[in-house]
Amino acid sequence: MSLSFLLQQPFAQHALLAAALVAVTCGLVGPFVVIRGMAFAVHGIAELAFTGAAAGLLIADNAIAGALVGAVVVAVLIATFGARQGERDSAIGVILAFGMGIGVLLLGYYQGFATAATNILFGNIFGVSGSQLVILLVICLIVVAVMGVYYRPLLFASIDPDAAEARGVPVGRLSLLFMVVLALSVTGAAQVVGTLLVLSLAITPAAAAQRLSASPLIVATLSVVFAVAAADGGLLASFQSNVKASVFITSVSFAIYVAARLAGPLVRDRRRRARPPVSRTNGGACHDQQQTPRSVPIHE
Amino acid sequence: MTSSSTTSSSKGTAIALRGATLRFGAHLIWENLDLDVTPGECLVILGPNGSGKTTLLKVFLGLLPLSAGTITVDGRPPGRGSPTAGYVAQQRIFDPDLPIRGRDLVQLGVDGRRPGLPRTRASQVDPAIEAVGAAGYADAPVGLLSGGQQQRLRIAQALVGMPRLLLCDEPLTSLDPAAQEEIVGVIDRHRREHGTTVVYVTHEITPVADVVDQVLYVAAGRWAAGPADTVLTTQTLSNLYGTHIDVLRVGGHVVIVGEGHGH
C-alpha cells in the first residue's frame, strides 16, 4: 500500500487528526508540567485513567469516558491533598499502585481482556472513532482556551508562587484549574500513545523546548511544534509497519529531545558564555563584581 | 477588637496595626501589636526563627487575617494580595532549566496577574532592570544567574510597578556582605527617590543599620518597636525574651548574644 493511498483512508485521517489534537494539547500544558515538577503526577494521572478506562469499559463499554472521570478525580485529589512536592509524590505512588491493581481486577471481568488492556496501556490510534475524535477536539479546544486566558498568571504562579500570591494571583485556584486541564490532556494523550507512554507527549517535547530557549513564548511554541512532529511524524512512519504507532511516536519524541540536549549549549546558554560575570553557584553566594548600581553607600 | 476611632489616627500612615493578634489554633504568634509606619519610612522586623516575621508580611499583604485587632495599609484594610505592594519573597534559587529570562521575570511584576499570554516589553521593564544594575544579564535564563543576580531581578520585579509599599523577606540571605550592601543601596535609593515605604524582614540588623528608621523586634509572642538604638539594647531584649540577652556593638556591627535560646 502506498502512503498516498493510505492517507485517503478515513481511519488514517482520523488517526492523524487525533494525534495532532492531542499533540497541541500536550504541547501547551507540557512546559507547566516541567516547571511545576509534575512528571510523576502526569504518570499517576495516566495510570489511574487506566483504572477509569477499565471501569468505563465494564460499566458502559466506553473506555474514554471512564478514563476522563478517573483522571479528573485523581487530578483534583492530587491538587487538594498534595500541595508539597515530596508529600505529593509519595501520595501519588501509593494511590497509583493500588489504582492499577483495581484496574487489572476490573479488566479481568471484561471479555477481551488482553486486547483491551493493550489498547489502553499502549494506545490504539487506528481505532479512534468519529465520536472519540469529537471528544479529543473538545478537550483540545478547552485546553487551548484555558491556556490562552490564563497562561501568564499560571506562569507567574508556577515560577514564583509566593511573589504571585502577594500580587493577588489566585495561586491555589490556578493550581486546581491546571490539574483539571492536565487530566483532560493526559486522557486525550492516552487515546493515542496509551496510558503508559503519555509522558512522551506531555513531558518530552516541553523538556526539549526548554533546552533551546528561555523565552516563555518560544518554549510554548516549540513544545507544541515538537509534540505535533512526534505524534504525526511517528504515526506516518508507523503506516508502513506492523508495530504499534506508539513505538514510533515515543522514538521521534525521544530523538527530538536528544537533538535539543545536544544543541542546547550552543543555543540557549550561548548568552551565558558571552558574558563572563554570569557565574553559576548552587548556594547563590557568588557576588558579581561588575554591574554595580549607580550609587552604593559605603558602610563602616 | 478596636473601635473605629483608630481609623482616624491611621490616616496618612502607610501601615497601622492596633491590638493586632495572630494565633494558629492554640499557638500564639504575637499579641496586641501596635505599630505605625509613616510613608517613606524604613521598618526592619527582627526576631528569631518562628517568631512570625514572615507571617506579619502576609498580614500586611492581606493574605492572612488577624485573629484580633485591626490593620490598615494606606488607610484601608488590605485586600487579598496587593497589586500596589512590591514583595520580594524569601529567596529560593531558581532551577537552571527554568524557561524564563531575567526580563520576563521582571515583566511579571507589571502584568503577571492579568490574563493573557506572556509578552515582555523593553519599555516597561528596562528602567527597573537598569535601576538594580541588572542590564548586563537580563536576557540570560534566570536559573543560570548567581544568587545575587537573581535577587536583583526579583527586586526589579517588585519595584517595576512603582509600589507605594515594598516588603522584603530576608532579601539578603545567601549574599556576601558586599552584595548585601549593594542590594540595600539599590532599595534605599529607590525609597529616597520615590518615597516608597520599605519593610525588611531580616535576621541581622547590621546590613540595614544605616537605612533603618524603626525596628520591630518580635520574640516569644511579644514585641518591642522604636528606633534601633532603643530597641536593640541589652535591657529591652532581655525584657522581651525574659532571660538575659547581651547586645554588643562592635565596629558598626550589632551582635545579639543569646537570642533564640530558651525559645
A127 within some domain: yes
Nearest to B146 among A163, A219, A280 (CB): A280
Chain-chain contact of A159 with B210 (C-beta, under 8 angstroms): no
Judged by CB atoms within 8 Å, which residues 185-214 of B form the interface with A?
185-186, 188-189, 207, 209-211
Q: What is the mean pLDDT of residues A11-34?
A: 93
The radius of gyration of chain A's CA atoms, rounded to the nearest angstrom, is: 21
Chain-chain contact of B140 with A210 (C-beta, under 8 angstroms): no
**Cα nearest neighbour of B116 on chain A:** A149
pLDDT higher than 90, residue B253: no
Chain-chain contact of A151 with B118 (C-beta, under 8 angstroms): yes
Model pTM score: 0.85
pLDDT the model gives residue A271: 52
A209 within some domain: no
A298 within some domain: no
pLDDT the model gives residue A284: 38
Q: Does B173 touch chain A (CB under 8 A)?
A: no
pLDDT tens string B18-59 = 999 999 888 888 889 999 999 999 999 998 888 889 999 999
Select the more confidently predicted residue: A276 or B67.
B67
Select the more confidently predicted residue: B117 or A117.
B117
pLDDT higher than 90, residue B199: yes
Return the H-helix or E-strand segment holding B87: strand B85-88
Q: How far is CA B164 from CA A19, A134, B71, B87, in A?
A: 51, 51, 17, 11
Q: What is the mean pLDDT of residues A246-251?
A: 92
A179 within some domain: yes
In what order do the strands lie in the sheet containing B222-226?
B85-88, B165-169, B197-201, B42-46, B214-219, B222-226
Is B84 buried (19+), middle (13-18) or exposed (0-12) by CB count in 10 A? middle
Judged by CB atoms within 8 Å, which residues 8-67 of B form the interface with A?
61, 63
Task: Count CB atoms within 10 A of the CB of residue B146.
Answer: 24
Q: What is the mean pLDDT of residues B60-72?
A: 92
Rounded to the nearest 10 degrees, how much is the dihedral formed by the CA atoms of A42, A44, A47, A51? -120
Q: Looking at CA atoms only, how far is residue B95 from chain A in angstroms? A: 9
Task: Count CB atoms within 10 A of the CB of residue A256.
Answer: 22
Q: What are the contacts of B48-54 at 24+ separation with CB within 8 A?
A: B48/B219, B48/B259, B48/B260, B48/B263, B49/B260, B50/B263, B51/B218, B51/B219, B51/B220, B52/B22, B52/B218, B53/B169, B53/B201, B53/B218, B54/B90, B54/B169, B54/B201
**Cα nearest neighbour of A206 on chain B:** B99
Q: What is the mean pLDDT of residues B77-89?
A: 83
pLDDT > 90 in chain A, percent: 40
Q: Does B254 touch chain A (CB under 8 A)?
A: no
By 3-state DSSP, what share of chain A in percent is helix, strand and coil, each rounded to 5?
80, 0, 20
The domain spanning residue A27 has which CATH number? 1.10.3470.10
pLDDT higher than 50, residue A298: no
Helix (H, G, I), strand (E, B) or coil at A188: helix
Q: How far is CA A225 from CA A7, A123, A140, A201, A220, in A?
A: 21, 21, 15, 11, 9
Nearest to A295 among B93, B189, B211 (CB): B189
Task: Categorize the per-residue pLDDT at B206 as very low, low, confident or very high, splitting at 50, 70 and 90.
Answer: confident
pLDDT tens string B118-167 = 888 888 899 999 988 899 999 999 999 988 889 899 999 999 988 889 99
- Reference B256, options B205, B199, B208, B212; nearest CA is B205
Backbone phi and psi for residue B210, each to the nearest 5 degrees, phi listed first: -80, -15
Task: Categorize the per-residue pLDDT at A270 as very low, low, confident or very high, splitting at 50, 70 and 90.
Answer: low
Q: Does B115 touch chain A (CB under 8 A)?
A: yes
Task: Categorize the per-residue pLDDT at B2 as very low, low, confident or very high, splitting at 50, 70 and 90.
Answer: very low
Select the more confidently predicted residue: B11 or A257.
A257
pLDDT tens string A41-63 = 898 888 888 888 888 888 888 88
pLDDT higher than 60, residue A281: no
pLDDT higher than 60, residue A98: yes
Rounded to the nearest 10 degrees, how much is the dihedral formed by the CA atoms of A94, A98, A100, A105? 180
Cβ-based neighbours of B16, under 8 Å, separated by 6 or more: B6, B9, B10, B35, B36, B37, B70, B71, B72
pLDDT tens string B141-151 = 999 998 888 98
Query: Under a CB-based contact definition with an 8 Å cutoff, are residues B40 and B211 in contact?
Result: no
pLDDT tens string A167-199 = 889 999 999 999 999 999 998 888 888 887 888
pLDDT higher than 60, residue A273: no
Q: What is the mean pLDDT of residues A3-16?
A: 85
Chain-chain contact of B174 with A149 (C-beta, under 8 angstroms): no
Q: What is the mean pLDDT of residues A71-82?
A: 82
- Range among A215-219, A292-296, B115-119, B243-247 with highest mean pLDDT value: A215-219
Maximum distance among all Cα pairs of chain B, rounded to whole angstroms: 56
pLDDT the model gives residue B245: 84
pLDDT higher than 50, residue B113: yes
* Cross-strand bridge partners of residue B112: none
The owner of cell 527554568 is: B98
Q: Does B184 touch chain A (CB under 8 A)?
A: yes
Q: What is the mean pLDDT of residues B225-237?
A: 86
pLDDT the model gives residue A32: 95
Spatial separation of the C-alpha atoms in residues B4 and B36, rounded to whole Å: 16
Query: Under a CB-based contact definition with an 8 Å cutoff, are residues B258 and B245 in contact?
Result: yes
Helix (H, G, I), strand (E, B) or coil at A29: helix
List the domains of chain B with CATH numbers. Answer: 1-84+164-227 (3.40.50.300), 94-162 (no CATH)
Q: What is the mean pLDDT of chain A?
A: 83
Say how many residues make up chain B: 263
Spatial separation of the C-alpha atoms in residues A151 and B94, rounded to whole Å: 20
pLDDT the model gives residue A115: 77
**Cα nearest neighbour of A35 on chain B:** B98
Range of the domain at A76: 12-194
Task: Count CB atoms within 10 A of the CB of residue A3.
Answer: 10
Cβ-based neighbours of B200, under 8 Å, separated by 6 or more: B42, B43, B44, B45, B168, B171, B208, B212
In what order do the strands lie in the sheet containing B68-73?
B27-37, B15-24, B68-73
CB contacts < 8 A (A, B):
201
pLDDT the model gives residue A286: 39
Q: How far is CA A7 from CA A11, A14, A228, in A?
A: 9, 10, 17
Say how many residues make up chain A: 300
A281 within some domain: no
ipTM of the complex: 0.86
Test mutation, B63, B84, B91, B98, chain A, max A CBs within 10 A: B98
**Cα nearest neighbour of A279 on chain B:** B146
Q: Which amino acid is at A240?
A: Q
Test mutation, B113, B180, B187, chain A, max A CBs within 10 A: B113
Q: Looking at CA atoms only, how far is residue B243 from chain A in angstroms? A: 31
A235 within some domain: no
Chain-chain contact of A269 with B94 (C-beta, under 8 angstroms): no
Test mutation, B137, B162, B253, chain A, max A CBs within 10 A: B137
Grid cell at residue B80: 487579598
Task: Categorize the per-residue pLDDT at B215 as very low, low, confident or very high, splitting at 50, 70 and 90.
Answer: very high
A153 within some domain: yes
Chain-chain contact of B83 with A296 (C-beta, under 8 angstroms): no
Query: Under a CB-based contact definition with an 8 Å cutoff, are residues A213 and A222 in contact?
Result: yes
Number of structural domains in chain A: 1
Least confident of A92-101, B7-16, B192-201: B7-16
Test mutation, A146, A222, A299, chain B, max B CBs within 10 A: A299
Spatial separation of the C-alpha atoms in residues B261 and B263, rounded to whole Å: 5
Cβ-based neighbours of B72, under 8 Å, separated by 6 or more: B7, B10, B13, B15, B16, B78
Cβ-based neighbours of B165, under 8 Å, separated by 6 or more: B14, B15, B60, B73, B74, B82, B84, B85, B86, B196, B197, B199
A258 within some domain: no
Spatial separation of the C-alpha atoms in residues A123 and A57, rounded to whole Å: 15
pLDDT higher than 90, residue B101: yes
